[in-house]
Structure 1
């Protein structure tokens, strides 16, 4: 089975790339976000219903 390039070079670029620490996530807890989205939808329904 022919391969594209030699397997000895596999992962070369990834191993050479400098490791960058992950940025801290600033997202709110899903429960809060879901509540806000629910209220938005509910408010739209109430406006349409009137």
Structure 2
């Protein structure tokens, strides 16, 4: 069974691609995120998914 390409050319394109530095990522502070989630779920009575203003909570 013939192979698709040779192993001598493996990784050729990746090796030629210039290295791009990753951007710095920083998310919310976990305490703030948890507080927001608590407010949405229990105080505003929102359910997971898209919530429209005035939408009733599913039971």
TM class by smaller structure:
0.5 to 0.7
Gaps of 5+ in 2: 46-55
Q: TM-score, normalised by structure 1?
A: 0.65
| Matched residues, number | 47
Please tell me the root mean square deviation across aligned C-alpha atoms, in Å.
Answer: 2.3
Higher relative contact order (CA 8 A, sep 6+): 2
- Give me the TM-score of the superposition, normalised by structure 2: 0.58
Q: Which consecutive residues of structure 1, in runs of 5 or more, have no partner in the other structure?
A: none
Q: Distance in 2 between matches of 1:44 and 1:29?
A: 21
